[in-house]
Copies of this chain bind each other. A is one copy, B any other.
Amino acid sequence: MLDRDTGLDIAARLFWERGYEGTSTADLTKAMGINPPTLYSTFGSKEELYRQALDFSIARESGCRGEILASALPAYEALGRYLYNIADGDTQPDKPAGCMVSTAVLQHAEENASVARMTAALREASMQVLKARFDRAVSEGELPAGTDTDTLARFYGAIIQGMSAQACDGACNALLKRLIDVALTAWPGKRTTVTGSLD
């Protein structure tokens, strides 16, 4: 059989493109070049393979994003770079469009509820990372005391999810970044990017 990480790479790509429900075990075994029993002895089940493929893909595709937020950059700068990095991830030339996690398993059959909870938890964790960075910004005086960092994190989380959806629909990298530039004007204390008189 092929290398385990190679198998996860192939599986992740299929799940990324077609989603959990849109990918069959026959698709997976065929793409991996293995037989069904090998898939089940190696990965356990379709759901367990999805879980492992998510972990694998997150580590490779967005593993470095945490460092952007953890860096010494000012919060606003870090956020901008973070979002631009996601936009790049959503529009990689030789990879499926959008994010594998942001817009995955939103609508689903009842039997896949546990898979949906899994992706929802990943999204929630991602927003908590953003919130933690914003909390730090408050404590460091970069954001006003009393800022609703939870809402701010969910706002930029919505932008991330919207970017993934639009990337799935064919949006290009430049479009997503223009969109980010608008979103960044909502940063507390920033003026809008549109030049001209403010009323």
Contact = CB atoms under 8 A, between A and B. Distances in A.
Interface in A106-143: 106-110, 112, 120, 123-124, 143
A39 interface: no
A182 B151 contact: yes
A95 interface: no
Chain A interface: which size bin?
35 or more
Summarize A's interface: helix, strand, loop or mixed. loop
Contacts of A106: 19, 98, 103, 106, 164-165, 168-169
B157 A162 contact: yes
Contact of A19 (B107, B147, B162, B185): B107
A194 B183 contact: no
Given A155-B182, A160-B162, A161-B162, A108 B22 contact: yes
Interface of A: 16-19, 21-24, 98, 102-104, 106-110, 112, 120, 123-124, 143-144, 147-148, 151-152, 154-155, 157-166, 168-171, 175, 178-179, 181-183, 185-199
In the complex, the 8 A-B pairs of residues with the closest C-beta atoms, listed nearest first = A158-B162, A19-B107, A22-B109, A188-B194, A161-B162, A155-B182, A144-B196, A161-B165
